[in-house]
Chain A
């Protein structure tokens, strides 16, 4: 389908595709097994200006454009969902600084992130605070010109490998959700350490660790926005970043479909290619149609954000939820087309199933996305 891309978008897609095919795909199986952070591939992405796609030009980027970020993430994810999320998670850690940072904060952090010299991470989740983000226990206590952070974040993507972290902590517990604030914390700050690296089902090229704060003293100027704005920062960040997660799911689904079509053409049973069987053709047709529907929704949502629409929570949640559900279904069907071979790790398709699953879970489970959509529908009705 022709999505009427601009010349710049075509260029980004072409370049991201080249990186995906020449650098990401050949490294996918290796990092899936070793679980090492794919620094060599990240460096190629960085040298190609890919980390500049979500950073304003005045801070060394190519302008904030969620559509561009989606195009790059989709292409990388076609080749490897794990390596792609290292890239996308840096966007997640960067977006709050872009949206809420003051000029000094932007000047200090964004140029290195735009060049990919450093990667970023976002930390809100805690052992007792997943979907219920208001239950976070990490605290930030103001002392003179500093805040003292104490607590534990877990399941943090890029945790340990990122240099720049945006962390949500309670500055006033009595105020509940309105008592949370967002802080920029640099790796290497005394009192800031990392816990165990998680052994994951999928996206194994990416690192997931605990962030541990023990009397971690950070300068007061590292507060993003104002005290009490932590959840607004989080919600606005997720509104802008969810199309990226959706694009990740879309890329995984697209990559799985391509492998399935290729395999169906090559595989012979009963004396002919299995792609000549209507049963296989119908499966492929459904997969392709659902992928295209997800793509149209994601691109529409990304374009709405880029054209300045403010109220995108519902559409953003729809894109993330729908694309990740499609990715899960498509990857499972793709494996089915591979039959017994698909179940074997010698073939690339089982990894797509494992990589797809997380997209239904992180940056808000799909159940939470449905809450967001449902609530918005009811609110709209009440207007």
Chain B
């Protein structure tokens, strides 16, 4: 089974600071890690490879330092890493990113399965995975919590819902996004780390992919970030005390006051 795992390098913090002038994330002084949800995607890819044989290719789009994320995935058992990077891709929103990654996947060639984490911990959009499958015109199953059965031709998975789960069968090739319930990512092995250190990372630029210039980077991004802000903290509420009829009357007065 040939598996492609798409990962993203994100800042290691859940409290991301934002530059109010540029509306972008402040990355200085924050350690970069693999998006935690993508760790489950890597682990599931490696487990499927261990079961069925084949190959796990990790794919990321990002600046040169995303090399470290690919090497970490290799230390966990992935076979090779591809870094999609070019100034031309800068400023991509989820649409342009998924278009670019789909282009890179077409360049890789034949595959059976694409695995993504359900969303990235910085943007929290959960759009890139579904976007890739749309651009590639293949089936997608999001929020997968368990692979029940898989062959070279099809997969049956459990899809996590807010209440309970769905069991879905899909032909392959397909794309799945996974949730943290699916597995426990392994700690790398020493041999894996040594292999990762000397592994050659493949680089794809716009020249290699030859994508539609109108569909990539900032100009290929229909989303415009108009404003980013941290919502103000809620101020404490007011407790009304006394007998119920009195409280009700007070409440009515207060609401009326608010309205006026």
Contacts and interface: CB of A to CB of B under 8 A. Distances in A.
Secondary structure at the A interface, as helix, strand, loop or mixed, is: helix
The size class of the interface chain B forms with chain A is: under 10
B197 A11 contact: yes
B187 interface: yes
B190 A47 contact: no
B190 A22 contact: no
A19 B193 CA distance: 14
A19 B186 CA distance: 10
B190 A23 contact: no
A44 interface: yes
Contacts of B197: 7, 11
A18 interface: yes
Contacts of B188: 15, 48
Nearest to B190: A49
B159 to A, nearest CB: 29
A47 B191 contact: no
Nearest to A50: B190
A12 B190 contact: yes
Nearest to A11: B193
B53 to A, nearest CB: 20
Contact of B194 (A11, A19, A50): A11
Residue of B187, B190, B191 contacting most chain A CB atoms (<10 Å): B190
Nearest to B75: A15
B172 to A, nearest CB: 29
B192 to A, nearest CB: 8
B189 A47 contact: yes
B190 A19 contact: no
A212 interface: no
Contacts of B187: 15, 18-19, 22-23, 44, 47-48
B189 to A, nearest CB: 5
A371 B3 CA distance: 62
A62 B186 contact: no
Contact of B189 (A7, A22, A49): A49
A209 to B, nearest CB: 29
A15 B193 contact: yes
Residue of B186, B187, B191 contacting most chain A CB atoms (<10 Å): B187
A11 B194 CA distance: 8
Interface in A34-48: 44, 47-48
Nearest to B186: A47
B189 A48 contact: yes
A52 interface: yes
Given A8-B194, A11-B193, A48-B189, 19 more contacts: A7-B197, A11-B197, A15-B187, A15-B188, A15-B193, A18-B187, A19-B187, A22-B187, A44-B187, A47-B186, A47-B189, A48-B187, A48-B190, A49-B191, A50-B190, A52-B190, A53-B190, A62-B190, A62-B191
30 contacts: A7-B197, A8-B194, A11-B190, A11-B193, A11-B194, A11-B197, A12-B190, A15-B187, A15-B190, A15-B193, A18-B187, A19-B187, A22-B187, A23-B187, A44-B187, A47-B186, A47-B187, A47-B189, A48-B187, A48-B188, A48-B189, A48-B190, A49-B189, A49-B190, A49-B191, A50-B190, A52-B190, A53-B190, A62-B190, A62-B191
Interface of A: 7-8, 11-12, 15, 18-19, 22-23, 44, 47-50, 52-53, 62
